[in-house]
Amino acid sequence: MFQILKNSCKKRRKLQLKFSTTASNNKGPMVTLNNKINKGELYRDEIQLKIGKSLQRIYDETTNYQPAEKNLLSKFFSSREKAPKGLYIYGAVGGGKTMLMDLFYSTCDIKKKSRVHFHEFMVDVHAKIHETKKHVVRDYSDDKPKPFDPIPPVANLISANAWMICFDEFQVTDVADAMILKRLFTHLFNNGIVMIATSNRAPDDLYKNGLQRSNFVPFIQVLKDHCEVISLDSGIDYRLKGLQSSKSNYFVKSDHKLDPVEPIFKFLCSKENDVVRGRTFTIQGRDVTFGKACGGVLETSFEELCDRPLGANDYLHLTQFFHTIIIRDVPQMSLKIKSQTRRFITLIDALYDHRIKVIITASIPIKELFLTQKRDKDNISDEDRMLMDDLKMGKDDTSANIFTGDEEIFAFDRTVSRLTQMQSEEYWNKDGTR
């Protein structure tokens, strides 16, 4: 464990000294993919090669593509160039969806491109909507305020920044997101963006059983109209296949052994230019406090992270300040503690996506972290019952996913797969955000 920590610290220092970015002179994702296979960096996978061809098509079709400028003249005179179809890759965990999308992203020579985790993107969309509404000058000419739709200006802001947008982990679990996606993406596509996305869900399964799903369903067609849809399901989880056997940063606690984490925390702190202290972050006007940190190292617990009303935005905030996070006392999770479980999944997604190093103490091994038992109608928590009352739902409405926990059960596999990879030496030695 200490050797891995030392290597990782050395690597980080080296990277801090290296400011230059590497220029790419590839001729597209297929060349890069084949090179990596020939060099033995990647296993040959026929389904991945098929997706490589679709990515190559997008690469070729976007080489001379420019979305029409959004100005008054173009509104009247431009014959808008049709945007190339994007790509929506879906499939089981660890199949290589993100790897392929990132390979495309690093190969394509487009200035206005962005690659973002879908969670983060939606957090930003809601912030932009909030901001846009604040600055709107209401028209009271008829004595009544005219309705204001913040979606078009927000879409314009996004597409002005990037027209090639790569989304990792496209998933819809939030009713507030579900209700705006169709209008938002219709505007984005009208503005000429090209989208590539990875997801664990087929488009038809997005927001499955979600509240007010009928309002969401039209978005699926918009997605299909603008993206080729391909399944990547080779049945291989490359995270598990490529793993070395260094299962050393996930500790199952036992009462009679010494605390394994304290010496690791001390070692990590010795590399930081700071003292051990509490930290308070102000996130969207709220103070979020953590008891013990030192420079880029946070020592915290499941309770501190998941037993409080924190969300994706808070976890993303942490990734900006800490390169290593120690999470103590992770219990076995189940739908009985659904809110905490959901937060833990969101937390691990954020930490994985930003390559944050994670050390965990838990009461059970990784594979047993989640108890997958479908909740039955007669076993609804007080919290859900109150929500049902607020939403005026009857007992028979419990098929909606917030009550059966379908989304969580599905996400358990991803979290277990990610946590397993997060122990590997390869993960520890790579630095920075993805």
From the list 4-12, 42-50, 121-129, 320-328, the region that binds ligand ATP by CB under 6 A is: 42-50
> Residue 298: beta bridge partners?
293, 325
Does the footprint of ligand ATP cover residue 98 (CB under 6 A)?
yes
DSSP-assigned states of every residue in 3-17: HHHHHHHHHHHHHHH
What is the footprint of ligand ATP within residues 108-167 (CB under 6 A)? none
Among 94, 150, 192, 296, binds ligand ATP (CB under 6 A): 94
Element (H, E) at 196: strand 194-199
Instruction: Outline where DSSP puts E strands in 24-125.
Output: 86-90, 113-117
Across the chain, how many H-helices and E-strands are there?
Answer: 18, 13
Measure CA 240 to chain center.
20
Whether 195 contacts 233, CB under 8 Å:
no
Mapped onto helix, strand or coil, the DSSP state of residue 347 is: helix
Does the footprint of ligand ATP cover residue 414 (CB under 6 A)?
yes
The Cα angle at residue 114 between residues 110 and 116, in degrees rounded to 5: 155
What is the footprint of ligand ATP within residues 174-213 (CB under 6 A)? 198, 200
Q: Smaller CB distance to ligand ATP: residue 29 or 295?
A: 29
Instruction: For residue 51, give the nearest of 39, 41, 42 by alpha carbon.
Output: 42
> Applying CB under 6 A, what is the total number of residues that bind ligand ATP?
18
From the list 118-126, 182-190, 238-246, 301-309, the region that binds ligand ATP by CB under 6 A is: 238-246
Whether 36 contacts 99, CB under 8 Å:
no
Does the footprint of ligand ATP cover residue 56 (CB under 6 A)?
no
Cα 328 from Cα 100, distance rounded (Å)? 34
Among 5, 30, 42, 194, binds ligand ATP (CB under 6 A): 42
C-alpha dist (Å) from residue 139 to 145, 153, 154, 415: 6, 17, 19, 49
Instruction: Please classify residue 68 by burial: count the beta carbons closer than 10 Å to its beta carbon, then call 0-12 exposed, 13-18 middle and 19+ buried.
Output: middle
Q: Smaller CB distance to ligand ATP: residue 98 or 159?
A: 98
From the list 18-26, 41-49, 62-70, 293-301, the region that binds ligand ATP by CB under 6 A is: 41-49
From the list 64-72, 93-101, 121-129, 219-227, the region that binds ligand ATP by CB under 6 A is: 93-101
* Distance of closest approach, residue 97 Cβ to ligand ATP, in angstroms: 4
Does the footprint of ligand ATP cover residue 34 (CB under 6 A)?
no
* Distance of closest approach, residue 242 Cβ to ligand ATP, in angstroms: 5
* Distance of closest approach, residue 237 Cβ to ligand ATP, in angstroms: 7
Among 93, 360, 400, 422, binds ligand ATP (CB under 6 A): 93
From the list 94-102, 187-195, 271-279, 293-301, the region that binds ligand ATP by CB under 6 A is: 94-102
Binding site for ligand ATP (CB under 6 A): 42-43, 45, 48, 93-99, 198, 200, 238-239, 242, 414, 417
